[in-house]
Amino acid sequence: MGKYNEFDQLRVSGVQHADIKGYQFSREDVDARSLANLYARYMGNVFTHEMKPLEVEILVAEVGAQLGQDQIFHILYDGTVVDEERFTALGGEAEAITGRLAQAYRADWPLAEALTASVNALRGPDRPLTPHELEVAVLDRGNGRRAFRRVLEAEVTELVSGERPKRRGAKEGADQPGPAAETAEPATAGTDGGTGTGL
């Protein structure tokens, strides 16, 4: 998160790093730690030598083949790397959001409970927040080689409210199934229990 032109430049650099390292060595050598270190070196150099630091915070999350191999790294604007556990929050009011999420957290929660807790943590006591305003994705080790899955707005509505959304044109009161989520981007994220939730 941060200034779009700055974090997009970093994103492109990260993709190129992963491509080259995967080509020169193997896919297994492309991991979250090496990517986080790449970002940290670059952001640290800018912070030290340039007139102003990058206005960016980065979260690098990896879902391993086993639960103990999951990793989350939070890279700050000055290049500091924080090795996170359970969950984290980026951006404004991150400390307050993290505190609210810590009160609700449990390691084995299902997606609906994790998403509801995350939304409540982002809302806080006074801020209204609707599914339309959210961009949600999960990292799931059971999703094949592509562990990333975007959660569409209709599914977010269903998970948070427990109600199945009506399709367009459906009659009032008709029981219509919501659209299936498509495979396709945690600011909270977690990896315990095999699923990470990103908002």
Q: Check which CATH number belongs to the domain holding 13 and give it.
A: 3.60.20.10
Asked if pLDDT for residue 185 goes beyond 70, the answer is: no
Average pLDDT over residues 96-116: 89
Are 101 and 152 found together in one domain?
yes
The reported pLDDT for the residue numbered 164 is 54
The reported pLDDT for the residue numbered 38 is 92
Query: Which residues does 37 contact at the CB level (< 8 Å), separation at least 6?
Result: 81
Are 72 and 131 found together in one domain?
no
The reported pLDDT for the residue numbered 189 is 52
Q: Which helix (H) or strand (E) holds 61?
A: strand 58-62
The reported pLDDT for the residue numbered 190 is 52
- Final residue of a structural domain among 84, 107, 129: 84
The per-residue pLDDT of the chain, averaged, comes to 79
Q: Are 176 and 170 in contact (CB under 8 A)?
A: yes
Asked if pLDDT for residue 165 goes beyond 90, the answer is: no
How many folded domains does the chain comprise?
2
Are 79 and 92 found together in one domain?
no
Band (pLDDT 50/70/90 cuts) for residue 195 is very low
The reported pLDDT for the residue numbered 162 is 63
Q: Which of 31-40, 41-50, 106-115, 140-149 has the lowest mean pLDDT?
A: 140-149
| pLDDT tens digits, 112-164 | 999 999 998 988 778 888 888 888 998 888 877 788 889 999 999 898 876 55
Are 47 and 11 found together in one domain?
yes
- Beta bridge pairs of residue 197: 138
For residue 18, what are the domain limits? 1-84
Are 29 and 43 found together in one domain?
yes
Are 77 and 97 found together in one domain?
no
- Final residue of a structural domain among 84, 117, 143: 84
- Cα separation, 105 vs 128, whole angstroms: 21
Are 123 and 27 found together in one domain?
no
Q: State percent of the chain over pLDDT 70.
A: 81
Residue in this structure with the two tokens 């569409």, named with its chain if needed: 152
The reported pLDDT for the residue numbered 194 is 45
